[in-house]
Amino acid sequence: MTATIPLDRAKRTAPDRPRHVRRQEWAGYLFLSPALLLFLVFVAGPVVAAFVLAFYQWDLLTPARFNGLGNFSKMFHDPLLYKALGNTFIFTAASMVTHLVGGLLLALGVNRLKNRFLSYFVRTSLFFPFVISWAAVALLWKYVLDPTFGPGTYYLHKLGITPPNWFVDPSWALPAIIGIDFWHTIGFTFVIMLAGLQTVPKQLVEAARTDGAGEWQILWRITLPMMSPTIFFAAVVTFIGAFQIFDPIQIITPQGGPDNSTVSIVMYLYQQGFESFQVGYASAVSLLILVVTMFVTLLQFWGSRRWVYQA
């Protein structure tokens, strides 16, 4: 693509553009028009509309009222919003650590397996939960952790652990959802890590081994640095997915859990927008989600230049 740019520019500035170039211009717009139209209606337009709505007070029934910065100042003094942000950051941090470390360890382990059947079995069973919808996963785990008949509860007792009443205890509801999320999405991180591991040049590892490097040294000095683009990608994707966590929270704890202990930021947006019909306020919250997502994504790209190996 880069090679063609100067050529086009030259064509564009020429006073008499040849007919086939003009025809190509039209073809370009024509081919792009469905995507462009849909993009305007369902992406760009709604983003602009969200910005506008954030300055209004609206319950969807009575006419909207201009509210200036009211929604934003309300956000600053909203203890529930702070609670939701706190829950979301805890969930995101836990999710990133568990997924990145877990996914990497599992990939390193599976990569060593010589037995083909075992390798297939582990890869498949790790990935199975990811294929299933959150709705099914959330309902299933609600049952697995049920205090009376749940097998999770039963076997924890067998191991001598008395499990808490997960979704009733304010300090355990969010950790339980963190665990369920791990079960559901670890397969995704694992697959990404395993693919990244295949990109590490074998000669490099062999050369280090002949030079007398130990396994540990090879891991830290060769494998991980060579995998850094993969780890970086997995970090960005895990962050975005975790920050926007909603499905299991709404399904398992429809009221937001004991003491609002599971309300995530998106759950809060849903409660405000679609349960209390505070459309303006919910739009302001949605802008906060947008800003944080963009900020962290850009920050990660910026930070990655310091530690990601560029081939």
> Given the complex with another protein, which of 175 and 300 has the nearer CB atom?
300
Q: How far is the CB of 77 from another protein (least distance, A)?
A: 22
3-class SS string, 43-77? HHHHHHHHHHHCCEECCCCCCCEECCCHHHHHHHC
> Given the complex with another protein, which of 132 and 161 has the nearer CB atom?
132
Neighbours of 201 (CB within 10 A): 10
Rounded Cα distance between 13 and 300, Å, is 39
Q: With beta carbons less than 8 A apart as the criterion, state whether 145 and 201 touch.
A: no
Window 108-167: residues binding another protein (CB under 8 A): 109-110, 112-115, 118, 121-129, 131-136, 138-141, 143-144, 146, 149, 151-152, 154-155
Window 237-296: residues binding another protein (CB under 8 A): 237, 240, 244, 246-247, 250-251, 254, 266, 269-270, 273-274, 279, 282-283, 286-287, 289-290, 293-294
Rounded Cα distance between 189 and 102, Å, is 8
> Given the complex with another protein, which of 65 and 171 has the nearer CB atom?
65
Window 211-240: residues binding another protein (CB under 8 A): 230, 233-234, 237, 240
Rounded Cα distance between 261 and 254, Å, is 12
Tell me the C-alpha to C-alpha distance, in Å, between residue 283 and each of 101, 114, 192, 268: 35, 53, 34, 11
Window 10-49: residues binding another protein (CB under 8 A): 11-12, 21, 24-29, 31-32, 34-36, 38-39, 41-47, 49
Q: With beta carbons less than 8 A apart as the criterion, state whether 81 and 268 touch.
A: yes
Asked if 176 interacts with another protein (CB under 8 A), we say no
Q: How far is the CB of 274 from another protein (least distance, A)?
A: 6
